[in-house]
Amino acid sequence: MPFLALANIKKSFGQTQVVHDFNMAIEKGEFISFLGPSGCGKTTILRMIAGFEQPSGGTIHIAGQDQTRLKPNQRNIGMVFQAYALFPNMTVFENVAFGLKVAGMPKAEIEKRVKEMLKLIHLEHLADRYPYQMSGGQQQRVALARALAPKPQVLLLDEPLSALDAKIRVSLREEIRQIQRQLGITTVFVTHDQEEALSISDRIVVMNAGRADQIGTPSDIYNRPTTRFVASFVGTLNIIEATIVDPAAGTVMIGDQTIALRESIADKTGGETISLALRPEAGSLSESAKGDTALTGKVVSANFLGSVVRTRIAVGKNTVSFDMFNSPDLIMPAPDEVVTLRFSAGDLLVIRD
């Protein structure tokens, strides 16, 4: 049995069902991210794991124990909130000590444990500060220490970084991941930022309208999306409409150009329209690029984005974006120029949903 098991979790608020038969098996020490757009039910599931909401159906097991009906203060869970939620009347030390005090730990031990936690987040020198005397990033680190101090079985984080500015967000997420590894604590991290999820997770659950669309490692999710939703939500994927020419040979027609797919489409029929996905970084304009497949089109626009140049070309009815790495000798494609995009047939994914 997995360490944290969610089985057939449902949740309705009044008439509207916001979580549909959600299943998830999380191993001990795993770092799982829930990724999805606003309102897809990420927070709701997290709050059910914490015990703030009762599921309308299904069960939640932690370490083999049924915890579905337990109150939050009967579970051994740590939680970090988006809005920090430090107690404004307590110092950093008192905030971190709160859970230990509630649990009735002797004073000397509390002191030792709090010091240990503050060391972990590199804030030993701020033990006597009040929350209002600290930056957002520091407050959130204290919130993390407070959640971890009582040695919870599971750590839940609900968009802990979204109130912070970009630089801190990146450094803090790495710090969170490093601490999580060090303690080996089973963690569920909620975010709507795909880069955040891809960079720190063991596995990602991509959620869409109260359902798990795909569960997999970051590279699975990014390179082999199984649904159109996952493909479009994670990264900026091109969706290309194509008409099947010969299912057995795997040939399709895009505009008036025929190409062969590597993935089998033998289950489809000729003349059927299918959707193909192509990552913007998969293509190249260079003649020498290795790639067995080519599409020719007219440049719609070319935009300089810093480290990359994003070019959009029209192929039949489709507009295909692709990125080239910036370099001083790069020649920007001009609008209306006719160019040939080369890529590997293996980069074209068939979307089946």
Partner 1 sequence: MKMTKFFAWFAIAVGVTYFFVPLAGTFEFSLRMRRGEYSLDAYGSVFSDVQFQQTFGFSMLMALLTIVFGMLLVVPTAYWVRLRLPQMRPFVEFVTLMPLVIPAIVIVFGYLRLYNSASYIPFTGSLLGTNILLVMSYITLSLPYMYRSVDTAMRTIDVRTLTEAAEILGAKWPTIMFRCIFPNVMSGVLSGAFITFAIVIGEFTMAALLNRPAFGPYLQLVGANKAYEPSALAIIAFAITWLSMGLIQLVSRFGKLTQSRP
Ligand X SMILES: Nc1ncnc2c1ncn2[C@@H]1O[C@H](COP(=O)(O)OP(=O)(O)OP(=O)(O)O)[C@@H](O)[C@H]1O
Q: Closest CB to ligand X among 10 and 310? A: 10
User: Residue 245 burial (CB < 10 Å; 0-12/13-18/19+)?
Assistant: middle
Q: In 10 A of CB 333, how many CB atoms?
A: 20
Q: Does 40 bind ligand X (CB under 6 A)?
A: yes
Q: How far is the CB of 142 from partner 1 (least distance, A)?
A: 11
Residue nearest to ligand X (CB): 43
Q: In 10 A of CB 61, how many CB atoms?
A: 17
| Among ligand X, Mg ion, partner 1, none, partner that 41 touches (CB below 5 to 8 angstroms by kind) | ligand X
Q: Does 15 bind ligand X (CB under 6 A)?
A: no
| Among ligand X, partner 1, Mg ion, none, partner that 18 touches (CB below 5 to 8 angstroms by kind) | ligand X
Q: Which of 26, 32, 43, 229 binds ligand X (CB under 6 A)?
A: 43
Task: Round to whole Å and give the CA distance between 343 and 349.
Answer: 12
Q: Closest CB to partner 1 among 132 and 267? A: 132
Letters for 23-62 (x = contact with partner 1 by CB under 8 A, - = none) are ---------------------------xxx----------
Q: How far is the CB of 206 from ligand X (least distance, A)?
A: 12
Q: Does 33 bind ligand X (CB under 6 A)?
A: no
Return the structure tokens found at 293: 């497949």
Task: Round to whole Å and give the CA distance between 138 and 297.
Answer: 51
Q: Closest CB to Mg ion among 41 and 297? A: 41
Q: Which of 1, 132, 290, 331 binds partner 1 (CB under 8 A)?
A: 132
> Any residues with CB less than 8 A from the CB of 50 and at least 6 apart, and which?
72, 75, 77, 79, 156
Q: In 10 A of CB 238, how many CB atoms?
A: 21
Q: Are 262 and 301 in contact (CB under 8 A)?
A: no
Q: Does 327 bind partner 1 (CB under 8 A)?
A: no
Q: Closest CB to ligand X among 48 and 252? A: 48
Task: Round to whole Å and give the CA distance between 156 and 33.
Answer: 10
Q: How far is the CB of 126 from ligand X (least distance, A)?
A: 29
Q: What is the DSSP letter of 319?
A: E
Q: Does 203 bind partner 1 (CB under 8 A)?
A: no
By rule CB under 6 A, what count of residues binds ligand X?
11
| Among Mg ion, partner 1, ligand X, none, partner that 87 touches (CB below 5 to 8 angstroms by kind) | partner 1
Task: Round to whole Å and give the CA distance between 335 and 311.
Answer: 9
What phi, psi does 46 have (nearest 5°)?
-60, -40
Q: In 10 A of CB 70, how many CB atoms?
A: 15
Q: How far is the CB of 326 from Mg ion (least distance, A)?
A: 36
DSSP string covering 226-288: -SHHHHHHSS--EEEEEEEEETTTTEEEETTEEEE-SS--TTS-TT-EEEEEE-GGG-B--TT
Q: Does 13 bind ligand X (CB under 6 A)?
A: yes
Q: Closest CB to ligand X among 40 and 313? A: 40
| Among ligand X, partner 1, Mg ion, none, partner that 99 touches (CB below 5 to 8 angstroms by kind) | partner 1
* Residues between 7 and 46 that touch Mg ion (CB under 5 A): 43
Return the structure tokens found at 222: 């990014």
Task: Round to whole Å and give the CA distance between 157 and 137.
Answer: 14
Contact footprint for Mg ion (CB under 5 A):
43
Contact footprint for ligand X (CB under 6 A):
13, 18, 36, 38-44, 192
Contact footprint for partner 1 (CB under 8 A):
50-52, 71-73, 75, 77-79, 81, 83-89, 98-99, 102-103, 130-132, 136, 139, 146-147, 150, 163
